[in-house]
Amino acid sequence: MFAKVPSGARTGLKTGAKPRTTLLHYATFVVAIATLAGMVWFVASDFAAKVESLAKARSDNVQWSLSQVEVEYLVFDHALRDVGVHGIDALPQLRQHFDILYSRIDTLRSSDLFREVREQADFQPALAETWAAITDALPYIDGPDQMLLDNLDALITRFDAIHDDVRMLGLHGISFFAERSDERREGIAETLNRVAAITLVLVFILTLLIFMLWRFSRVLHSHAEDARLSADRISAVVTTALDAVVVSDRSGVIQEFNGGAEDIFGYTRDEVLGRTIEDVMVPPHLRKAHAEGFHHYVTTGERRVIGRGRIKLEARRKNGSTFPVELSVSATRQQDGAEIFVAFLRDITGRVATEQALRQARDKAMAGERAKAELLAVMSHEMRTPLNGMLGTLELLGETDLSARQKKYLSVANRSGQLLLHHVNDVLDVARLESGKMGIDRRVVDLSDLVRDVVEGQQTVAEAAGNAIEVSLLPPGKSLVVSDPVRLRQILLNLVGNAVKFTRNGMIHISVDRLGYDDMVEISVSDTGIGIAPEDIERVFSDFVTLDATYDRQNTGTGLGLGIARRMARAMNGDIGVESEPGEGSLFWIRIPMPPAPVGATAEVDVLAPVVPLLPEATTPAERGQAPLRILVVEDNEINRLVVREMLETAGHSVTEAKDGLEGADAARDHSFDLILMDISMPHMDGIEATRLIRARDGASSGAPIVALTAHAMLEEISRFKAAGMDHSLTKPITREALQIALNLARGKPASPDEPAQSAPDADTPVDQSRLDTMAQEVGADRLAKLVDAFLAEADRTVDGLTAAPQAASDDHALLATLHHLAGSAAVFGARDLHDWLAEMERLGKSGQTGQMHDRLPEIAAIWARTRSRYSDMQTADSRK
């Protein structure tokens, strides 16, 4: 379980050693470098001096020899003349001087020192002439004395003739060697200059190296100090860490045990140092696995725990109890190379308990969601059954002889039934898709024909809004695919219908393309409509989301269409998405695998359910025996206008209709009415603005009573209506009893208080028996009994939770969700008192009066006790039947 860590010296957190480098070391280093540079300079200078000296000595010796040639010549010439004066006694000295002259000239002829000068053109003739004179005199000099004396005058003449040549030898030689000496000195000086330059460069480089070494030394010193501080910080962190930090060697002997480990395991540091991890921390039932894992690591080097991140295990405290821990182990080495292991352990007892509680809460929530989904599916099925029967009966009724008024009523009932059936089907589809019970029927489909059918069905609505629809289909012969035509048609109808609904005088383009991978086909629907804000892009696929929720909304709907489309697309192994910019339009796309149909296959016929057409309308108001009123009905919904108009006209009143607030305000300006019934949510101008405009104008009906027809029934909304100039409010759906309140107001009779007109619950009858009777007819008495039992059990749990510890309900959002959920169930099962009280609590919470909401929570106990008792009495009465 726990990694073991190597043996050796006791492991702790050490601080870094401070560098010993001092200024003395720096000074010594600089002196050494300076000495080296001085030696280089001294050697170079000495070398130059010696070379100069040697060069000068050789040059002087050669030049002296050349200058001595003429001297020796003159001495010999003087000796030659002296023989003429002193006779034979002067011959020995003559011969001596001749030998010297001979030696000088012979040296010039044969010595390597004079080789370069001998090669000079001016030097050779003079040397040759001089040597010729010497060789000519040689027989006389070396011959008998008398012969020398006899030829003395000839010798004098001969040597006088070469005097200029001898002088030429000396002068030319000296000049030549002087030039060569100068050239050598210049070369040596240049060489020395180079040596000096190189020496300066070397000195600069050495100086730079010294600086760099100094900088490196400073950096190393800084790093060493940082390492020391880091080690000190790590030591402080480990010492004060709340998590346990345990260091052990390779044999499992504990070498370090911090304060966090002491708190978690119950041991002191001194108690565990020197003991093994297995003995101190590993539970008995895990010791075998721990030993085997450690042996496996030692023999194979394979790491199963070390360096593998955080692992959840069990550990043992000093008192023997086991608890869950989160373990992370890392390996490192000491300076001596010995391997050690550092284990970080965290006590996660609280977290495990919390996770377990969350799992239990999730399971309960999922069970509740499943129960809700099942109830939704059951109710949808049971609601659709009587609806289908009703619509079928209406269709049969339309084939009988009916009066014009009966046909109009039948048309309204038929249209309303079709719309309700559509909504019920949407809810049923959601329930099926959520439960995974909606199957996919894959058949051969002509995708191009399916798209054309959808477009043709929307063409009339699109043209009415000034829109044009363009289509780009698959190439001919490629449109036969395998897919579910019903689901695919439903998705496309939703996307194209939305594009038509939210586009005015624009363009809608439908494109079909095969993407070339995984048989994927993409169908995109783009429009030039109002677009979608970035924050609403993902919300449009949520259930019951309608982005246009203002009073002057142009479009209506349940908000289920796109949610169902996404579920269906994903059920077909595809997906759906949208790209949009506000004011620029939207592009919805679906990508669904649609394999090409087998060769020779044909598309199967897709039969659609017939739609019952609306019956022709008729206007034959019936007069009643009461004073008729002139009434303006401002309502954007055609069916609602028709219902209200028929109710009023059958009572003998005169009705004028307006389709929106602006049209209604204009009618009130131009005509006198006894009563104005004003809808609130309308396009172009809502009912509140229309009321303000009517009251502000000095029109024919500026003082007429105005009654709101609205589904916005909260007291804050009613206060806004009254502030705008309305006299009363009626809550939809409108009944004859509710209309009578408005008629009384028009006749000057008192109306009920300014709150939504609705039947007040009887304090003695907290349960709506008629509601339960209706449900019994729809779902059957036996099924209703089971559903009521489920509702009672749910309400019991909720009420117990709200009354057991109301002060704990600090999460207002969760409390509101609980109240809303129970209110919905109470409404379904006719628990009127409970529903009304829950609706009031929800209103308080949503209006920000959460303190009052919390204070009134205990009231639910008495309300539920009275309601529960009524249900029990009803069940007892049913059992006796």
Tens digits of residue pLDDT in 261-277: 888 888 988 888 888 88
| Residue with tokens 């020192």, as numbered in its chain | 113
More confident: 877 or 148: 148
Residues whose CB is less than 8 angstroms from the CB of residue 32 and which lie 6 or more positions away in sequence, other chains included: none
- CB atoms under 10 Å from CB of 817, counted, come to 12
More confident: 392 or 446: 446
Amino acid found at 668: A
Amino acid found at 555: N
- In contact, 65 and 98? CB cutoff 8 Å: no
- Lowest-pLDDT range of 32-36, 69-73, 137-141, 861-865: 32-36
DSSP H helices in 143-162: 145-150, 152-161
**312 closest CA partner among 544, 773, 1:** 1
Task: Please check the confidence at residue 694 and state whether its pLDDT lies above 70.
Answer: yes
- In contact, 552 and 636? CB cutoff 8 Å: no
What is the per-residue pLDDT for 435? 54
Token pair, residue 74, equals 């003159």
What is the per-residue pLDDT for 771? 64
Q: What order of strands is seen across the sheet that includes strand 675-679?
A: 654-658, 630-634, 675-679, 706-710, 728-731
Token pair, residue 104, equals 């000088």
Name the percent of the chain lying above pLDDT 70: 73
What is the per-residue pLDDT for 850? 81
Strands 322-333 and 339-347 come out as antiparallel
- Fold classification of 29-210 is Four Helix Bundle (Hemerythrin (Met), subunit A) (1.20.120)
Query: What separation in angstroms does the CA of 99 have from each of 12, 133, 134, 864?
Result: 102, 13, 10, 160
Identify the top-confidence range among 82-96, 603-617, 734-748, 826-840: 82-96
Average pLDDT, the chain: 76
The domain 442-593 having CATH identifier 3.30.565.10: the answer here is yes
**Which pLDDT band holds residue 619 (cuts at 50, 70, 90)?**
very low
Strands 480-483 and 443-446 come out as antiparallel
* Span 22-54, pLDDT tens digits: 455 556 656 656 666 666 666 566 556 555 555
Rounded Cα distance between 717 and 355, Å, is 44
Tell me the CATH number for domain 630-746: 3.40.50.2300
Q: Which residues of 664-693 are buried (b: 16+ CB within 10 A; e: fewer)?
A: bbbbbeeeebbbbbbbbbbbebbbbbbbbb
Give domain limits for the chain: 29-210, 245-302+314-347, 359-430, 442-593, 630-746, 769-880
Q: What CATH class is the domain 245-302+314-347?
A: alpha beta
* Span 440-489, pLDDT tens digits: 778 899 999 899 888 887 887 788 888 999 999 988 888 899 998 888 88
Rounded Cα distance between 642 and 659, Å, is 12
Average pLDDT estimate for 170-175: 75
Q: Which residues of 250-271 are buried (b: 16+ CB within 10 A; e: fewer)?
A: bebbbbbbbbbbbebbebeeee
Average pLDDT estimate for 97-113: 82
| Residue with tokens 């695998």, as numbered in its chain | 593
More confident: 567 or 11: 567
Average pLDDT estimate for 386-391: 65
Token pair, residue 357, equals 């509680």
- CB atoms under 10 Å from CB of 244, counted, come to 23
| Residue with tokens 């998590």, as numbered in its chain | 243
Task: Please check the confidence at residue 219 and state whether its pLDDT lies above 60.
Answer: yes
- Region of 684 (left: φ > 0; alpha: ψ -120 to 50; beta: rest) is left
Query: What separation in angstroms does the CA of 283 have from each of 148, 294, 318, 597?
Result: 138, 15, 11, 64
**509 closest CA partner among 477, 576, 462:** 462
Backbone dihedral angles phi then psi of residue 518, each to the nearest 5 degrees: 50, 35
What is the per-residue pLDDT for 753? 42
Rounded Cα distance between 676 and 655, Å, is 10
- Lowest-pLDDT range of 13-22, 70-79, 234-243, 534-543: 13-22
Rounded Cα distance between 62 and 57, Å, is 9
- Lowest-pLDDT range of 49-58, 517-526, 790-799: 49-58
| Omega before residue 616 within 30° of 0, cis | no
- DSSP assignment of 88-134 equals GGGHHHHHHHHHHHHHHHHHHHH-GGGHHHHTSTTHHHHHHHHHHHH
Query: Which segments within 559-639 are labelled E, that is strand?
Result: 575-581, 585-593, 630-634
Rounded Cα distance between 767 and 167, Å, is 158
**66 closest CA partner among 128, 132, 127, 156:** 127
Rounded Cα distance between 400 and 407, Å, is 10
* Span 314-350, pLDDT tens digits: 889 988 888 898 888 877 777 676 778 888 888 888 8
CATH number (1.10.287.130, 3.40.50.620, 1.10.10.10, 2.40.128.130) of 359-430 reads 1.10.287.130
- In contact, 675 and 745? CB cutoff 8 Å: yes
Task: Please check the confidence at residue 564 and state whether its pLDDT lies above 50.
Answer: yes
Residues whose CB is less than 8 angstroms from the CB of residue 196 and which lie 6 or more positions away in sequence, other chains included: 44
What is the per-residue pLDDT for 591? 93
What is the per-residue pLDDT for 103? 84
Token pair, residue 51, equals 């070379």
What is the per-residue pLDDT for 672? 93
Backbone dihedral angles phi then psi of residue 482, each to the nearest 5 degrees: -105, 115
What is the per-residue pLDDT for 370? 64
Query: What separation in angstroms does the CA of 309 have from each of 11, 327, 343, 718, 783?
Result: 23, 8, 11, 61, 55
* Span 759-789, pLDDT tens digits: 334 445 788 777 677 566 544 577 677 778 8
Average pLDDT estimate for 278-299: 81
**Which pLDDT band holds residue 166 (cuts at 50, 70, 90)?**
confident
* Span 114-163, pLDDT tens digits: 777 777 777 788 888 888 888 888 888 888 888 888 888 888 888 888 88
- Region of 337 (left: φ > 0; alpha: ψ -120 to 50; beta: rest) is left
Rounded Cα distance between 420 and 412, Å, is 12
**Which pLDDT band holds residue 538 (cuts at 50, 70, 90)?**
confident
Query: What separation in angstroms does the CA of 508 have from each of 458, 462, 493, 502?
Result: 11, 9, 13, 11
Task: Provide the terminal-to-terminal Cα distance of the chain, rounded to the nearest Å.
Answer: 70
Residues whose CB is less than 8 angstroms from the CB of residue 222 and which lie 6 or more positions away in sequence, other chains included: none
- In contact, 555 and 563? CB cutoff 8 Å: no
What is the per-residue pLDDT for 104? 81
Token pair, residue 39, equals 């030696």
What is the per-residue pLDDT for 704? 93
**95 closest CA partner among 129, 144, 150:** 144
Angle at 632 between CA 628 and CA 637, to 5 degrees: 125
Task: Please check the confidence at residue 757 and state whether its pLDDT lies above 90.
Answer: no
Identify the top-confidence range among 21-30, 48-57, 207-216, 839-848: 207-216
**818 closest CA partner among 873, 860, 788, 780:** 860
Query: Which segments within 365-506 are labelled E, that is strand?
Result: 443-446, 468-472, 480-483
Rounded Cα distance between 318 and 869, Å, is 58
Strand partners for 509: 470, 526
Rounded Cα distance between 349 and 440, Å, is 47
Rounded Cα distance between 143 and 126, Å, is 26
Residues whose CB is less than 8 angstroms from the CB of residue 105 and which lie 6 or more positions away in sequence, other chains included: 69, 127, 130, 131, 134
Burial of residue 733 (number of CB atoms within 10 Å: 0-12, 13-18, 19+): exposed
Average pLDDT estimate for 430-437: 57
Cα–chain-centroid distance for residue 106?
104
**591 closest CA partner among 612, 569, 607:** 569
- Lowest-pLDDT range of 383-392, 496-505, 741-750: 383-392
Task: Please check the confidence at residue 172 and state whether its pLDDT lies above 80.
Answer: no
Backbone dihedral angles phi then psi of residue 575, each to the nearest 5 degrees: -160, 170
What is the per-residue pLDDT for 154? 86
What's the DSSP call for residue 415? Answer: H
- Lowest-pLDDT range of 85-99, 504-518, 580-594, 687-701: 85-99
- Lowest-pLDDT range of 17-21, 281-285, 509-513, 860-864: 17-21
Q: What order of strands is seen across the sheet that includes strand 520-527?
A: 468-472, 507-514, 520-527, 585-593, 575-581
- Region of 389 (left: φ > 0; alpha: ψ -120 to 50; beta: rest) is alpha
Cα–chain-centroid distance for residue 578?
20
